[in-house]
Chain A
Amino acid sequence: GNSVTQMEGPVTLSEEAFLTINCTYTATGYPSLFWYVQYPGEGLQLLLKATKADDKGSNKGFEATYRKETTSFHLEKGSVQVSDSAVYFCALTGQGAQKLVFGQGTRLTINP
């Protein structure tokens, strides 16, 4: 079945540092890929998505590129802020299906 693996957390960085959170997936066909963010006490917010190979999703300074050859969708940001502290989830949906399969989540803490 489909699955998503994220880098283990927690991740702690200083403000303005470069961020990478690794995500790899296993899926048949051509899944759609997503990054969601969860702030304390809240539900999930869609951060960005990519629906086909080589697509780059971007939002709020975050970027991720759909790499089919390496089955990866790593999240990057050039300069993180304290307000980026949250839990980040990589996820996919299989072709035609609405069911999201999530990675285990990566807790990110940014220190001023």
Chain B
Amino acid sequence: KAGVTQTPRYLIKTRGQQVTLSCSPISGHRSVSWYQQTPGQGLQFLFEYFSETQRNKGNFPGRFSGRQFSNSRSEMNVSTLELGDSALYLCASSRTGQGIDEQYFGPGTRLTVT
């Protein structure tokens, strides 16, 4: 069974630009969550989607948004990029989206903002 895939793996953008990251969950998984990983703040929850609906949202500004499609694939978008948005963005999927359910992570997208 294929794992969680994320594209692109690496991205370099300039301040003020916007970026879209993509995540394909494991087949049959309906929940997709996004996390930001930085050396200073560690791993922080961005948002979670289940059956195309955002169920939970972390403490990030409105520049961070996402969506989920009917095939459970998800995208996240960051508008008006800032230097502080440089991070590893991780996507995770789970079958049921329940708290006890295991989340499987993709390899991440490394975003560098210059």
B21 CB → nearest A CB, Å: 13
How far is it, in angstroms, between the C-alpha of A49 and the C-alpha of B99 when the chains are bound?
A: 11
List CB contacts (< 8 Å) of B51-108 with chain A: 55-56, 58, 90, 92, 94, 97-108
A21 CB → nearest B CB, Å: 15
Q: List 7 A-B contacts (CB under 8 A).
A: A43-B4, A43-B90, A89-B43, A97-B56, A98-B50, A99-B56, A100-B45
User: Hey, which bits of chain B sit against chain A, CB under 8 A?
Assistant: 4, 31, 33, 35, 42-45, 48, 50, 55-56, 58, 90, 92, 94, 97-108
Chain B residues with Cβ below 8 Å from A42 are 107-108
How far is it, in angstroms, between the C-alpha of A34 and the C-alpha of B94 when the chains are bound?
A: 14
How far is it, in angstroms, between the C-alpha of A105 and the C-alpha of B38 when the chains are bound?
A: 12
How many residues of chain A get a CB closer than 8 Å to chain B's CBs?
Answer: 26
List CB contacts (< 8 Å) of A55-112 with chain B: 89, 91, 93-105
Task: Decide if B43 touches A98 in the complex (CB within 8 Å).
Answer: no
Task: Decide if A104 touches B42 in the complex (CB within 8 Å).
Answer: yes
Pick from B31, B42, B101, B104: contact of A102, CB below 8 A: B42
A50 CB → nearest B CB, Å: 10
Further 12 A-B residue pairs, CB within 8 A, beyond A32-B99, A43-B107, A105-B43: A45-B105, A49-B102, A93-B99, A94-B99, A95-B99, A98-B50, A98-B98, A98-B101, A99-B33, A99-B58, A100-B43, A103-B42
Pick from A32, A45, A101, A104: contact of B100, CB below 8 A: A32
Chain B residues with Cβ below 8 Å from A93 are 99-100
Chain B residues with Cβ below 8 Å from A100 are 33, 35, 43, 45, 92, 103
A-B pairs with lowest CB-CB distance, top 8: A93-B99, A43-B105, A102-B43, A44-B105, A51-B100, A43-B107, A32-B100, A99-B45
